[in-house]
Structure 1
């Protein structure tokens, strides 16, 4: 079970080209086994060597955990942003004194209530397992990751300044609030910096970044240099943000957006009409039978959406539209790349029912 969690962390941290390279190597070795080319022991030994190398990557990441001598601890939301932050800190030569903690949750989706208890965490884990196709991890693995996060937060030394990074989206805004909630009672100096605001000021961009993971490393380095103490929080600020975490997380909804500097909980079907409108706009891309590849629709939906939600939520809503009889499917909905969709054509009997129904 422990290896499964480590393998997931390792593969999630790899870049696309690295994944392709390792996959080519594994397939080549398997091909040699199948063709019985070369000694079996040699091929197996090379596969084990690759396994040890990749698993060792996870151990090397411990260098980013808080240590007694560190002066700053950066808390970020998401693996993509964490990768960029590591590169930026390395480039500035700060890795000995600046450490990193990653919140790996997508706080924009799923239930957030009572995460301080194993029962609340199970509710969240079960929701992802039931609705998000890529969420294959068990409740046990979710629990292990959460406990690892708590351990890292406990390791933060008292003299280190804690810098929590956020941006203009519900995911990072709720992540920042959750971090402060989990750090309740610690005496450190806390600061919050908004990457989208900093980069907008630096580069005079009219369109702020939706998510910090979109920011290139060189721009992130300049944002780090720009830390001037303006983000430091007073006790009243921290109390208010912790209160907001409690109030929003206790709401029963499973989708959140960022609007007018406030996290709002909206209905689960909030983007359903938006997805249908994008589907209608893409009619020129459909095949002879009128079907559109679901990945194509989701890609366009993400590109034009002002919010950072994540492709997995849009894919979940497509499946709900299929279950509700609004969309027709060709393929198997195990992942977005495996099926296509189109508007379901109503039968004559269905149309007659609609005509006969009294207007409200």
Structure 2
């Protein structure tokens, strides 16, 4: 088990992490996710012992390891650059951590060969790193990290140098291997699709703080604030600024070019006392109609992208050409709409999210 308790890290006057706390159970695969500069790599460096926290404690299996040297933390680490030794063969690269432990040559080469076979690179063990593709180098780096049977595996954006198709293959291989070995794994990534594909849990960071920590489904379906809502999902959630109005028992969201009546089943947090809100709706939770339906929102088509099985349709709300209210909808590929066509949008009322515009917190 890994535990971070109140971890903060400052570099001079700049705060990289602020009061970060995290519990990771044995055998879990956890992703640290967020944009550049959010603190995710700093968190990983602190876990690895390559950086000391300014304050807070790091626990491995209940023991404080703040001042334990990286080599004594029983971790395997894969860097973004792979950091393979160019003058060594693949076999010697994989076996190098065992050489440092004074394991005999025959024994360490046998172990390296077993790990290479597990990662399906055993036919490459006599090659040099310069003779390998990016995906093959990534597997060698992974094999080297696993060769010493670490208690924890730390991955620092290990797929960022791979092309899109190879990324899918490699992330599947990493997840398969993690499940097979049952090793506690932490990956740093800025790619939310990658995080959702491999991780049991995701910690989303922004400005050195954890915004939300939970399963991929929890973060996608129940974001706690606007940042998480917009960061999770591709295409991202549509966010529209609105005024929350009351008309008797009815509650109406009024935005630039539209009114939308909230159904009574959608309850608002009683702590919310204002009127300025943001309406969030994911692209696949909206439907397009060519006829006006009850509680539908008028719009005009401005772009249609064919994605194969689906179409991504961008529409403008209202008739104001200067509006900033654009919405993206994922629709079946057989839906026939064209540029400048008038359409009507209906929302899945149970799937929408409403946020306090001032605080960014969800209020539904």
Please say whether Structure 1 and Structure 2 have the same fold, judged by a TM-score greater than 0.5: no
Structure with bigger strand share is 2
Q: What TM-score results when the alignment is normalised by the length of structure 1?
A: 0.26
Q: What TM-score results when the alignment is normalised by the length of structure 2?
A: 0.25
Bigger Cα Rg: 2
Structure with bigger helix share is 1
